Amino acid sequence: MVFVMNEKHQLETVLDEVREFSPSKEFRAKATISSFDDYRGMYEESIKNPDAFWSKIAEELHWFKKWDKTSNGDDKPVFKWFENGRTNISYNCVDRHLESSFRNKAAIVWEGEPGDHRILTYWDLSREVNKFANVLKKLGVEHGDRVIIYLPMIPDLAISMLACARIGAVHSVIFAGFSSESIKDRVLDCQAKLVITADGSWRRGNVLQLKSIVDKAIQNCDCVKDVIVIQRKPGSSFPCQIQAGRDHWYHRLVDGVSMNCPAEELDSEDMLFLLYTSGTTGKPKGVVHTTGGYMVYTYATAKYVFDLKPEDMFWCTADIGWITGHSYFVYGPLLNGATCLMYEGAPDWPDRGRVWDLIERYGATILYTAPTLIRAFMKWGNEWPAKYDLSTLRLLGTVGEPINPEAWMWYHETIGEGKCPIVDTWWQTETGGIMITPLPGCTVTKPGSATLPFFGIDADVLNEDGQSSQAGILAIKKPWPGMLRGIYGDPQRFKESYWSKWPDIYFPGDGAKKDANGYFWILGRIDDVVNVSGHRIGTAELESVFVEHEAIAESAVIGVEHEIKGQGLVAFVTAKDGYEVSNDLEIELKDWVTEKIGKFAVPERIIFSADLPKTRSGKIMRRLLRDIADGKALGNVATLADAGVLDALKAKYEED
């Protein structure tokens, strides 16, 4: 295994970073955890005695029946938490708050791209979730059935997830930027019975026709019995086809349905959701999360990392189609009774001030976003945030990719006006919740470092042999409640991907470094996964898409540094004999990727080459391609079958 990107360069940058920032007195005064000694004490307790620690937190939530055993320990790779406990995450997100003063508190404050808005109190949310759950039942959805959700950022997305969770159906949300082909693969992999979608959504002033994308995706999927179609704009529909017998308008289905649907008493280890993510092979994997552990973990992390207070207006900008939106738009915050801001559209529509305008108008207090967006904001210029009153913000967060110290400083000074702590949170789809992070009221932060592990997380940096070292590979040495329980339908891949590098240790696939204070600096993926704008793309997945095209014989895809996106993609492809290499072919290939995966996976550059550098045994040497892309002197090429290929490629890469 080799380090991708110019990991050396990054190492130097972070080693030089000496700035430190302590939470302000004002922040500390109100923080849930305000002393570092308290964090240390709780952390040590959580590692020494995880069962007692997690039991205590779990007791803050509602259980129909208490668990017998908190965890089954290191019984790799079948992990169980809160065994034989009975609970329901939808009940805990909604019903639990109806008996408190939160009943009439806003749960979701939503604004559409054109400026329409909707506010749902916890009471309203309860009504909607109950009705939606009854609609699902009416269509015959049962405990354990898989439901695909392909919706824009509208409240119905959160409502439909909570409705599935209420009756024990397994949701699998697909980000609305994915193509028909991607939907089809996921529908078939999990054999979904039902698809929930909308007639459209606004994006940069245009209507995204989600329903027609779904129609194309499921035309040959026999498993799908019904499609629920939600009107993006109540009372008027975007044009779309309704196939009699299969497709149903939600507003018709819900007419006359009861507002009461008791939450099912589910087992802690009942599957809650599947979320597909990219790995190192061509096929995306369905990451499995279950009910009890995920609930306790997202509850605890949201509570402590975002220091949530009843009066907060929490804005997580991630789309719910990714894990960040699952854990920190829907589940974590609602479990805590938080008020969440939700926005449908693009951050630069109608102009580049939209995000700041939303913060000013709704008085957002916490902003949780991605380094990519922060870098875009920097590029757009300080005049945009300067136009707005951002003084309500008290805490900032980032997630999804390493943040460069320069972007961190800009976020701190320009958006946080020097007074808001920044939580740089490292975690993954697989971990369910935040793993390495500052606690805002007590951790001294350093720009570019995710700092220290959360409670119960035994993290370390290991070398290939599994020995603790200063620089190497990130490792998690103990199970935690929010961890994935498997890959849907593929126990072998689960074992191989995460549990076979070192015995009994979870392997996340990231390179990392630990400094003298024990702070973690995450350096990025070390496997064949590229992180483009915080979205995971498997190079193998993209390579197989290219060779599926009739004109392409071979391809190799690598990640390269990108100013805004963190990483960008470069594809090296060879055309089959008889196909002309042209601009048209390049455009066709980009459209092909859009059609097969989605626009976000289209490479920055496609480089045509007569040949690719290979070893004598025929293996493509990606390391050499990366060297070319990084402009490095070419390393050891002794194993190369035909050294001439490289010079030709290098010349081509540097040509434009």
Site for ligand WT7, rule CB under 6 A: 277, 322-324, 399-402, 424-429, 450, 508-510, 522, 524-525, 531, 534, 536
Q: Which is nearer to ligand WT7, 155 or 402 (CB)?
A: 402
**How far apart are the C-alpha atoms of 435 and 35, rounded to whole Å?**
20
Shortest spacing between CB 622 and ligand WT7, in angstroms: 18
Tell me whether residue 156 or residue 527 sits nearer to ligand WT7 (CB atom). 527
Could you tell me if 590 and 606 are in contact, meaning their C-beta atoms sit under 8 angstroms apart?
yes
**Alpha carbon distance 145, 192 (integer Å):** 7
DSSP letters along 582-635, please? -HHHHHHHHHHHHHHTBGGG--SEEEE-S---BBTTS-B-HHHHHHHHTTPPP-
**What are the φ/ψ torsions at residue 308 (nearest 5 degrees)?**
-60, 135
Nearer to ligand WT7, 427 or 498 (CB): 427
Cα separation values, 484 from 73, 167, 181, 289, 492, Å:
15, 21, 25, 5, 14
Q: Is 41 helix (H, G, I), strand (E, B) or coil?
A: helix
Half-sphere exposure in the Cβ direction for 224 (13 Å, CA): 28
Contact between 317 and 367 (Cβ < 8 Å): yes
Smallest distance from ligand WT7 to CB 482, Å? 11
* CB-nearer residue toward ligand WT7: 450 or 607: 450
Cβ distance 46 to 455 under 8 Å?
Answer: yes
CB nearer to ligand WT7: pick between 299 and 498:
498
| Partner residues linked to 203 by β-bridges | 206
CB 521, min distance to ligand WT7, A: 9
**Cβ neighbours of residue 189 closer than 8 Å, sequence gap 6 or more:** 276, 284, 286, 488, 489
Nearer to ligand WT7, 149 or 399 (CB): 399
Write down the least CB distance from residue 402 to ligand WT7, Å.
Answer: 4
Q: Which is nearer to ligand WT7, 293 or 400 (CB)?
A: 400
Instruction: Provide the β-strand partners of residue 559.
Output: 569
Q: Given the complex with ligand WT7, which of 179 and 317 has the nearer CB atom?
A: 317
> 236-265: buried (b, 16+ CB within 10 Å) or exposed (e) per residue?
ebbebeeeeeebbebeebbeebeeebebbe
* Cβ distance to ligand WT7 smaller for residue 131 or 565: 565
**Sheet order of strands, 194-198 included:** 247-249, 226-230, 194-198, 146-150, 170-173, 271-277, 285-290, 486-487
**Identity of the residue, 180 or 369, whose beta carbon is nearer to ligand WT7 in the bound complex:** 369
Cα(364)–Cα(366) distance, integer angstroms: 6
Q: Which is nearer to ligand WT7, 71 or 451 (CB)?
A: 451
312 vs 108: CA distance, rounded Å: 12
Helix (H, G, I), strand (E, B) or coil at 28: helix
| Shortest separation between residue 237's beta carbon and ligand WT7, angstroms | 33
Q: How far is the CB of 619 from ligand WT7 (least distance, A)?
A: 25
3-state helix, strand, coil in the chain (%, to 5): 35, 25, 40
Least distance (Å) between residue 136 CB and ligand WT7: 28
User: Which C-beta is closer to ligand WT7: that of 130 or that of 429?
Assistant: 429
CB of 304 to ligand WT7, least distance (A): 16
Shortest Å, Cβ 311 to ligand WT7: 26
How far apart (Å, rounded) are the C-alpha atoms in residues 137 and 163?
A: 10
Residue that is written with structure tokens 């002794």 in the block: 638
Provide, rounded to whole angstroms, the least separation between the CB of residue 368 and ligand WT7: 10
CA 573 – CA 625 distance, rounded (Å): 12
**Nearer of residues 91 and 331 to ligand WT7, judged by Cβ:** 331
End-to-end Cα, the chain, rounded Å: 31
Q: Which is nearer to ligand WT7, 425 or 574 (CB)?
A: 425
Q: Using CB atoms, what's the residue nearest to ligand WT7? A: 429
Q: Which is nearer to ligand WT7, 230 or 529 (CB)?
A: 529
- Those residues with Cβ within 8 angstroms of residue 260's Cβ, 6 or more apart along the chain or in another chain: 130, 134
| Shortest CB 158 distance to ligand WT7, Å | 18
Q: For tokens 């902003």, what's the residue?
A: 367
H/E segment holding residue 173: strand 170-173
CA distance 215 to 60: 43
Minimum distance from residue 575 beta carbon to ligand WT7 (Å): 32
Shortest spacing between CB 553 and ligand WT7, in angstroms: 31
The minimum distance between CB 7 and ligand WT7, in angstroms, equals: 12
**CB 416 → ligand WT7: shortest distance, Å?**
17
CA 510 to chain centre: 15
- Tell how far CA 389 is from the center of its chain: 29
